[in-house]
Amino acid sequence: MAEANTVHQVVVPAPAPMGKETILLSEGWQYKASDSETWSDAQPLPTSVHLDLLADGSIPDPFYGKNEELVQWVATKTWIYKKEFRVPVELLRDSGQNIGLVFEGLDTYATATLDGETILEASNMFLGHRVDITSLVANGEERVHTLQITFHNADERAGEEVKAHPEHSWFSFHFGQQRLAVRKAQYHFGWDWGPVLRDSGPWKPIYLEVYQARIVDLSIKTRLTPDNKEATLDVALDIEGKAGYARINIESEGSIVESRTIDLTSSTKSTTIRIRNPSLWWPWTLGAQNLYTARATLFASKDSTTEHDTKVKRFGIRNIELVQQPLHGQDGTSFFFRVNGVCIFATGSCWIPLDSFVTRGTSERYRRWIKLAKDTNQVMLRVWGGGIYEHDAFFDACDELGLLVWHDFMFACGIYPAYSAFEESVTTEVRQNLVRLRHHPSIALWCGNNEDYAIAYIAQMLRGVAKYDPSEMDVERIRQSGMPARLFYEIRLPELCKELIPDVPYWPGSPYGGAFCNDTTVGDIHQWHVWHLDKKPYQDYPRLSGRMVTEFGLQAIPHWKTVKQYYYTGDKSPSLDDDTDYTADDFMLYHNKAEKGPADIEKYCTDNIPFDRSLRGYMYCSQLIQSEGLGTALRGWRRLWKGEGREYCGGALVWQLNDCYPVSSWAIADCDLRPKMSYWTVKRENQPVTAGLVRNLREDGSLEVEAWACNMTLHALPVNYRVRAWNVRTGQTCWTHSVLATVELPPNQSTELWTVQLDAALGVESNWSELVFAVYLFSADEEASASDESAADRMLARHVNFHEPLKEVPFGMQENRVTAKLIEEEGRTFLELCSSVPTKGVYCDFEDDNSVEWVDNCVDIVPGEASKLYMTGLKNEPGNSVRVYWLGETSWQSQVITLA
């Protein structure tokens, strides 16, 4: 603990005359609880109470063991931060200077005082604030000022709001009703994948701005001609203070493309710029991520060389449309995105905040996560509505790496109010964040909420509350209805979007569409009939499609290394292979925040495979089933992207990409970016060219086999294909069907290849569970034979199909079933895997080497083929060993193979 005796002198260079100066107030803060007399040093801003307490050893790390319980007291207190500072005298000499104190974000209920005088009352985490303190500090003398911020108990304040509005139906299934009254990251109150850590503090930067004139905002709205050959840029400035002249440069790759000057003494503070043959911004699957820079500079007059202020924004030129139009042969309408005239199947995942403590979101961490999504061939991320309006670093990474963003407004799973004070706060919040983020070309859609319409539906059925007339559009009647937040989703938010971002589509909610919010023929759906609701088998995913599926998924526990690192504290350390039932282990249960999560993992495992409850078995089995489920869904739904007028499914977003905390969840990678097995399955199923195969048992006992291909590239693809079957017990080839004539796969759609009905002539006496099928796509070569040795080099895609449920497959329990060989070839390292019989779910792990990153893993192996799993980072040392897992008839199996 430290007493506050030091005054922190802000050292800045002498400013250019009348130029804006920014003075960061990041260092030298102290904090304490309101009922304590002792001040402690805080970390540099941005920070939070929990992180400061953790840094000085006052609390244990809440990510470990059950420490979350030991830090709940933090949120019950009021916390005070303070800092002493001086404004350098040279900045106080000019009487025409303005001095603004900027708070980019305060979490959440906060009172700020300067030298004992209250200057700000804040009540919305998502708002920034600017206070003119010119009269308080600009007296011509340099002196010490004390800035103090009191962060009040958010639960208490929220409770007061709830009591003050008994007319509202405060309803939610998720972590209490009080969260609905506070404009704060909703996941702080806990969720089914995250802890209860109701943080508070200065979560964004605080600084002074000293200026005569400043650019409040630089707006760039882009419009493209239908042929994409000319772009019109509507550039507008919002100015505070006195300036006579502005110069606007549009730059590309360091060169000025266009330049304009604006006379600010007139009423117009905007200009129109046209760019011929613009370099367009594309999603990474379609083209380059070309970015322009808009640079605006203020001057006192046209002849002046002194800059008042400069603002720079990067932007992209692109056109994004949400296409909803009639479909051939089916009810309803399509729901897909078109970018620069090109229709896309939007495959991707849902994004939650990357940490329970949002200030730990560095640019490097954001970029690693966005790259992980891109590495799995995803093209869209959906920012979920219970987190935050994401940091600029998130969007910068998406802009640069070429991922589209669906961004929910911050409402999730509840019946929110719309009384006047709440409406005013929300409207300001939305306006601020749209203005802050609107230049990012990656943003493809703004969405009103997450699942609020679904919650209203459930509330009506179960509680008889949240009733409303969906056709009612009178503002006051909506406000007085059982779902007053329709005022936001259907009126205020679309109005603001139309005003501020007319080039970006708006959608009222997720899910939303049709007479029922989860209508499979209109709008988007959340597909939770698998896992939640009626717990249908994952094999039903292809039949459970919607026009776009924006949530679906299954849980799995993370890698055992993550479990051992975080889940346990004290003397307890889990064993990997003992007889402990880890599905019932207290610490394992604690780190699954879904009420029925462990039971549901067990159900889906036992329904499908021999389930083992050891730690190693729990990891393998749960991850294999998650992997199989996601692969089944993606294959089936991409198949429904059938070309113009037949876009029966326009995208699929996995719930979820990431974790904010060490937890067993739906994520495909854990909080430390360690992939689960589903990571590689998602990567394979999202490739530009894929193949699929399904089997259907007919009433007469015969087996119908269907094969198809997806070509998501923009050019036609001439291919040959082959379908082969093996006996899973013996590895004997039972049947082969090769098509050597060229088949053309049209661009940007799926194509049905082949359907055949098989009978007992295959020699398995109708025991179809013994057959394993594989379909292969090859680049066309009509001169090749069915046994052409070059086929492997020409292979574009491959899919292996086992009978399901997998527990009915007679795998056998052969030891040393898989052979592995480490090979270095052309500077690349890969593990070559072979097996004499079809083998399911082969997963490889260098258990003693944490530096290995697998390019591919979790594969199915068939006889006569060598599966090559590429990797990076392997320390090539004598005696390297890899553990290889696979699925056996009565249990999972593994062996440790020492590599030469």
Spatial separation of the C-alpha atoms in residues 107 and 198, rounded to whole Å: 10
Both ends of the chain: CA-CA distance in Å? Answer: 56
**C-beta atoms surrounding 646 within 10 Å:** 15
Would you kindly state where each structural domain of the chain is located, as residue ranges? 21-209, 213-316, 320-412+510-686, 689-808, 818-899
DSSP calls for 461-489: HHHS-S---TT---HHHHHTSS-TTHIII
Question: For residue 152, which phi and psi values (nearest 5 degrees)?
Answer: -85, 160
Check: CB of residue 222 under 8 Å from CB of residue 503.
yes
Closest Cα to residue 293, out of 307, 308, 309, 310? 310
805 contact partners, CB below 8 Å, separation of at least 6: 537, 539, 607, 608, 609
pLDDT for res 1: 43
Give residue 97's pLDDT.
Answer: 87
Radius of gyration of the chain (CA): 30
Same fold yes or no, 213-316 and 689-808: yes
Is domain 818-899 classified as CATH 3.90.120.10?
no
Catalytic (active-site) positions: 451
Strands (E), 460-565: 506-507, 525-526, 549-551
Which tokens go with 796? 């574009």
> pLDDT under 50 in the chain at which residues?
1-17, 786
Number of Cβ atoms within 10 Å of the Cβ of 90 = 14
Q: What is the pLDDT of residue 15?
A: 43
Is the domain spanning 213-316 CATH 1.10.10.10? The answer is no
Question: H or E element: which one contains 369?
Answer: helix 363-375
What's the CA angle centered on 788, arms 782 and 793, to 5 degrees? 90
Q: Which of the listed CATH numbers 3.30.450.20, 3.40.50.880, 3.20.20.80, 3.40.50.720 matches domain 320-412+510-686?
A: 3.20.20.80
Confidence at residue 6, expressed as pLDDT on a 0 to 100 scale:
45
* Distance of alpha carbon 185 from alpha carbon 389, whole angstroms: 9
Alpha helices, DSSP H only, in 591-676?
Answer: 597-608, 615-638
CATH fold of the domain at 689-808: Immunoglobulin-like (2.60.40)
Report helix, strand or coil for 416: coil
What angle is formed at CA 653 by the lines to CA 641 and CA 534, rounded to 5 degrees?
Answer: 95
Domain 21-209 homologous superfamily, CATH: Galactose-binding domain-like (2.60.120.260)
